[in-house]
Structure 1
């Protein structure tokens, strides 16, 4: 473009107007030529924003604020913009309503290369507009396709992840159901084992109770009768022998009575746990003379079964016996407490204490002691806990499961 305009604009190096021949030459260039079909209008600018020539004669001699593209052209750069017809000098071109490419080209002086003017052309850009539209459409299609593909990919990932999660959830639910089933079976087995143990314990204790009664009513009575009959015979013999025989008989009789009392039980079916605790405490006081303080709660007492009562009674017997034989004290304390789901029997003393680690060991004399209490309690679902210290004494607690009956 500069090759056409530059020779005609050289006179602008010395003046700010074009001569009539130059204007005529420009008119002939843009009329009836291929270039004229492409360029719909043009302007030639001076440095101060003056339009020295234009296809629109009304703009010649008008001064406008130089645009950014015009300033770039004065700096020696060819500047262009597409469909940017927002300046005042572009009103006529904007009114055409067709896509235009606005081009600013500097005009150089031939000999010095100095920029003497700037030519502005408005070229039809229908092809460029179509290409831009096609490129924009292609870009949108690519972006849309990429978005759709990524969406489908994400959807596939989510679906696959969802299936995996559902499968894992179903597997976990099956495992949980199996675990719950096994747990229920274990609970049922434990309950059956506890019930069987309770029945066996009750039968054993009833048999022992009968043995106690038989000892009291059989051999003990015979020994008592023999002692009475021997008195009349031994009175005539040696005094020392008489005393020795009478002492042996009395000792044997006393031991049989002690054994029968230890084997004998109160009527557990008809006795409440408070009365049971009082019976155990009173029996121990009579046998040992030890002071035992009994603390019972107020209100209605829990209704325990035969095996639970038996376990509690044997627990009180054994712990009080241990306190009198091993703790080296003359006093002990027994208390009973209960809640909605358990009953506790507590026996404590301030004696010399013991090592709780030995409770699971059988004694050298073959006795089971607290070992037996632990097994008896655990066999019916209860537990026995120990607190023992040489400075504070011993506390032993029996806890039995219990559910309060709702009215």
Structure 2
């Protein structure tokens, strides 16, 4: 748009200069052509013709014209109102154009050598070159050059330039405003699309992360399923060990007890222990219970205190021994996993006390607080069958190691303490967890 404003102003300036050139051509034709007709036959202007031109320019025309010159077609100066340089040649493209029959005009600040004597004027002048023709023909006999005061024309041109720039600027402003809003709208659409794409990318990333989490959850679920199967097998083994196997071991002890054997007249030995038959029935009942549900049905419907007393009672009936009990009040809504664990701790601890301490000093203590339950099963045996027993059972995942696994699975702590000459103690602390309703 700036180039457009410049082109418009240049076009207007050219048009005005051409108009000025045409007006100058008319002036030279009217006032200078009659005096220049003598140049057809002479290379000098007659003095009377020069005097006539001086008088003419000294009048009203002198107010508009600053300088007047006459040139021969070969660029020789034959007349000048300043009387300087007459007879000298000053070739110029403007003279050549005028000899060719074309009038020209331009602003001149008198910088050429021919105008050296008029540089003091310091005003913009309109320099006009026009051809002078022989009367009645189109033969160029001379070139007329006139300088008029160009201050008014320069001011008009400056005003025209300012006006053209203003008009172009007024047209440009709304165009730029419209373009601005168009580009801004396009930019907004691009940003919205970009934001939408970024949101889609984020959603896709989140979906990928979610899928990855689900995959890991599925993998963990498979691992947990495998672990659950392993735990189930371990529980079956623990139940078999803590129940029937312990009773079978007890039966074997009774069958091999030399004090319980008597000989008949024929020499055969018979076992007459009255507890063998109920013990055998209990073994069968344990095996049936484990095979049907893996959890003892006889524990259902019993409170935790009744359950522990039942474990002690079963041991006393099976072994014919006495157990000292001190069981505090336990919450009635304990989780079944905790009640079974307590039952197995009492069962395993008392069986160990019978096997290794000869049932000496059998004792069960249970203390409960709002957060946990502390259960202790101890005896007063020699405490010497200790670590071999524990390690041998641990390698098969049974016995003391099985109890430790049960307790730690419930986030509790387990201790197996052996003191030679003092006895053995099983101590477990289990956090309280209530049954789900």
Q: How would you bin the TM-score normalised by the shorter chain?
A: 0.3 to 0.5
- TM-score, normalising length from structure 1? 0.46
